[in-house]
Amino acid sequence: MEIVKPPEEMSAWSERQRAAGRSIALVPTMGCFHAGHLSLMREAARRADLVVVSLFVNPIQFGAGEDLARYPRNLERDAELAAGQGVVVLFAPEAAAMYPSGFQSKISVAGVSEGLCGRSRPGHFDGVATVVAKLFNIVRPRAALFGRKDLQQLAVIRAMVRDLNWPIEIVEHPVVRETDGLAMSSRNTYLSPEERVSARSLSVALGHVRQRVAAGELDPAVLRAEAEAILQQAGVIPEYLEFVEAATLAPAAMVGPDTVLALAAQVGKTRLIDNARLFGAEL
């Protein structure tokens, strides 16, 4: 596996592969790989000839007071894990190369970026859309894979690709969970042992709502109150619990086949997100 840092070298490599008729799948990440990332890499290998993983802690998607400085970084470990999944290139650019002096462009995706996490993280999804657009232009993949845990990010990327007519397949991958149900996240490393126990309440609340929906309760107000009570009993502070339509993230007046419960909550000093479809077998 190669580790490539300069964007121009990554572009040149990609151009050579596409000229030779090889397809590329991209897995964009910020590193600190866990089993969810590795699952994305394996799925990417099934969808293209070559897999590129980008590893870049993107400064412009972090707001004031967020965890940019302490976000976990371990290039050596991540490179070893990626190589074990058959990744051919780990693209790990420096921030100064991605955002050189004088950089002043951004991509903003209206609508889907404005609710949920967009309310409390102004500018976050502009930063996400801008860096992903740059990665797409540098790597030129045929397909790009994103985990559904970041539901709103996925919706933003899909809207951007559709609106800008990019010939890239956006592949949604299911939430990957720990054995106790907690959605895997690089930020789980911030949790103390006690907070880790409390964090399980996020998936417990989602599972409870799914059970209530299966039993016939379809009123979002009733279900939200029950989910909030589960979080609060565990000492977790809910930021939002919203019932939205999966494709558009529009609020759901009543739970239906395409409704997702999306939530964000504060566990100690750590902000975690999760979501679940409310019909079907998958949490």
d(CA 255, CA 252): 6
Q: Classify residue 283: in a domain, yes or no.
A: no
d(CA 181, CA 177): 5
Q: What is the pLDDT of residue 281?
A: 75
Contacts of residue 235, defined as CB under 8 A and 6 or more positions apart, other chains included, come to 198
Q: How many domains does the chain have?
A: 2
Q: Classify residue 179: in a domain, yes or no.
A: no
pLDDT tens track of the chain, all 283 residues?
999 999 999 999 999 999 999 999 999 999 999 999 999 999 999 999 999 999 999 999 999 989 999 999 999 999 999 999 999 999 999 999 999 999 999 999 999 999 999 999 999 999 999 999 999 999 999 999 999 999 999 999 999 999 999 999 999 999 999 999 999 999 999 999 999 999 999 999 999 999 999 999 999 999 999 999 999 999 999 999 999 999 899 999 999 999 999 999 999 999 999 999 999 877 7
Q: Is 37 a catalytic site residue?
A: yes
Q: Classify residue 280: in a domain, yes or no.
A: no
Options 37, 124, 173, 208, the catalytic residue: 37
Same domain, 237 and 165: no
Asked if residue 244 lies in contact with residue 259, where contact means CB atoms within 8 angstroms, the answer is yes
Which CATH number covers residue 19? 3.40.50.620
d(CA 283, CA 19): 41
Q: What is the pLDDT of residue 282?
A: 77
Nearest to 188 by CA among 172, 176, 199: 199
d(CA 11, CA 167): 17
Q: Residue 247 belongs to what domain range?
A: 186-274
Q: Classify residue 281: in a domain, yes or no.
A: no
Asked if residue 154 lies in contact with residue 146, where contact means CB atoms within 8 angstroms, the answer is yes
Q: Classify residue 279: in a domain, yes or no.
A: no
Same domain, 54 and 109: yes
d(CA 156, CA 154): 5
Q: According to DSSP H, which parts of the chain are helical?
A: 7-19, 35-47, 75-83, 95-98, 117-120, 124-139, 151-163, 193-214, 220-233
Same domain, 93 and 127: yes
- pTM, rounded to two decimals: 0.95
State how far the alpha carbon of 152 is from the alpha carbons of 28, 103, 144, 146, 170, in Å. Answer: 15, 26, 16, 11, 14
Same domain, 61 and 134: yes
Among 173, 196, 225, the domain boundary falls at 173
Q: What is the pLDDT of residue 44?
A: 98
Q: What is the pLDDT of residue 240?
A: 98
Which CATH number covers residue 249? 3.30.1300.10
